[in-house]
Amino acid sequence: MSTPFIAQEIKGIISAGSKGQAAMPVVVAVPKELAPGEQRVASVPDVVQKLTKSGYEIRIEHDAGTSAYYPDDLFTAAGAKIAYNRAELLDSARIVLRVQPPTVTDVDQLAEGTIVIGFMNPTNNLDAIARMRDRKITAFALEFVPRITRAQSMDALSSQATAAGYVAAILGADNCPKFLPMLTTAAGTIRPATVLILGAGVAGLMAIATAKRLGAIVEAYDVRRAAGEQVRSLGARFLELEINAEAHGGYARELTPEEKAMEQQMVSAAVARADIVITTAAIPGRKAPLLITKETVMMMRPGAVIVDLAAESGGNCELTQAGKTVREYGVTLIGPQNLPARVPFHSSQMYAKNLLSFLALLVDNNGVLVKEFTDEILAASLLVHAGEVRHGPTRDLLSAGKP
């Protein structure tokens, strides 16, 4: 996947003014992520260097990259200025790059017209979104970047799901009392472990690839039949059911009650023979589908592990507890939150490159910030602008009586 290098596309200084005006570098701020457990940072030195060469002025909050193993001095060497006062950093910014959504406190530091780019998780951040609306902040939500070919390099959902899938397989292996590969040793032959992946989207495919590399026998299932080809190309076995639930945009639709019963039966049999089960099944905007009931967990092998990536949206397993690891009926159930933060070095690197590509949409050929967000990708991801919430479902939630 190639990321467009902004410096090749933009000649001259990136400026906030229109053509002919004195060029004022656009100040891009990268605050430290303060959400509990968040280790990532929204930019990394390589990307800062490219942005600086393109004419942006990059200001990074002191220690913003430390927990992702990008210390301040690497940012300084890449051309960034280190900011020691968060309020001043936010107040001085034209563009703010973030991983997690802004808090109300941070929004209150921003000047009118500031552009904030990051994950916005609107359902859980209505207060901050209302405040951005009222303070006339412009917010782009990376989760709404459309999954079209042109947007692949800025698809942060995919880059972070890749990280999550990798960590899920490692977590599963770490909690499994068995070896994953087949071993032939003087002390006897070890059979390979069986890993089952439910949901073969971006995270699921990465979990399959990682479990295969660790030497396990891998099986996978997805309601989208198109996923079968990708699963098989990774050397895993695809479990077939006479259902194709692919809906608009490549996402899955909800199954009918009869389809759900058929799915349950087939999935239960596969879960019962697995040593590690990684579940990633999600339906955008809805509670995660229940794929593993308590009865199925009771059928599993002692020591088996379930890593439920859908824990934050209700869980694919009935016994999952979000944010906790519990043991039930001899099975370890892991309900992880924010897995990309466990590989912060690379998840930050990928995220920063996503943002680099996204930023290229915000300037015209003269290096001037665009005023109209008519580009399909900008229009789709524009959450708040000029005192209005532009995303219909979020607007409905807000007018349903919340803030």
Q: Whose CB is nearest to ligand NAD? A: 201
Q: Which is nearer to ligand NAD, 196 or 283 (CB)?
A: 283
Query: Catalytic annotation on 152?
Result: yes
Question: Can residue 280 be called a binding residue for ligand NAD (CB under 6 A)?
Answer: yes
Question: Can residue 308 be called a binding residue for ligand NAD (CB under 6 A)?
Answer: no
Question: Can residue 57 be called a binding residue for ligand NAD (CB under 6 A)?
Answer: no
Query: Catalytic annotation on 327?
Result: no
CB 380 within 8 A of CB 144: yes
Question: Can residue 284 be called a binding residue for ligand NAD (CB under 6 A)?
Answer: yes
Query: Which segments of 209-268 are extended strands (E)?
Result: 217-221, 237-238
Question: Can residue 106 be called a binding residue for ligand NAD (CB under 6 A)?
Answer: no
39, 49, 109, 158: which one binds ligand NAD (CB under 6 A) = 158
Q: Which is nearer to ligand NAD, 55 or 315 (CB)?
A: 315
Question: Can residue 236 be called a binding residue for ligand NAD (CB under 6 A)?
Answer: no
Smallest distance, ligand NAD to C-beta of residue 199, A: 3
Q: Which stretch binds ligand NAD (CB under 6 A): 44-52, 73-81, 174-182, 222-230?
A: 222-230
32, 98, 131, 224: which one binds ligand NAD (CB under 6 A) = 224
Query: Catalytic annotation on 301?
Result: no
Q: Cα(328)–Cα(310) distance, rounded to whole angstroms?
A: 18
Q: Which is nearer to ligand NAD, 56 or 144 (CB)?
A: 144
Q: Cα(276)–Cα(257) distance, rounded to whole angstroms?
A: 27
Smallest distance, ligand NAD to C-beta of residue 260, A: 8
**Contact partners, residue 326, CB within 8 Å, separation at least 6:** 319, 332, 333, 335
Question: Can residue 200 be called a binding residue for ligand NAD (CB under 6 A)?
Answer: yes
Query: Catalytic annotation on 147?
Result: yes
Q: Cα(297)–Cα(271) distance, rounded to whole angstroms?
A: 8
Smallest distance, ligand NAD to C-beta of residue 184, A: 35
Question: Can residue 141 be called a binding residue for ligand NAD (CB under 6 A)?
Answer: no
Q: Cα(125)–Cα(403) distance, rounded to whole angstroms?
A: 10
Buried b (16+ CB within 10 A) or exposed e, 369-383: beeebeeebbebbbb
Please tell me the number of Cα atoms within 13 Å of 239 on its side-chain side.
22
Query: Catalytic annotation on 381?
Result: no
Q: Cα(268)–Cα(58) distance, rounded to whole angstroms?
A: 52
Question: Can residue 281 be called a binding residue for ligand NAD (CB under 6 A)?
Answer: yes
**Contact partners, residue 397, CB within 8 Å, separation at least 6:** 122, 123, 126
Residues paired with residue 196 on neighbouring β-strands, in sequence order: 219, 277
Q: Helix 45-53 to helix 344-360 angle, to the nearest 10 degrees? A: 20
Question: Can residue 244 be called a binding residue for ligand NAD (CB under 6 A)?
Answer: no
Q: Cα(307)–Cα(277) distance, rounded to whole angstroms?
A: 6
The residue from 109, 158, 160, 381 that is catalytic is 158
Q: How far is CA 80 from CA 24, 27, 125, 165, 263, in A?
A: 16, 10, 30, 32, 53
The residue from 92, 152, 153, 313 that is catalytic is 152
Q: Cα(213)–Cα(34) distance, rounded to whole angstroms?
A: 35
Smallest distance, ligand NAD to C-beta of residue 133, A: 28
Question: Can residue 232 be called a binding residue for ligand NAD (CB under 6 A)?
Answer: no
Q: Which is nearer to ligand NAD, 203 or 307 (CB)?
A: 203
Chain positions contacting ligand NAD, by CB under 6 A: 147, 152, 155, 157-158, 161, 198-204, 221-224, 227, 250-252, 255, 280-284, 289, 291
Residues recognised as catalytic:
147, 152, 155, 158, 251
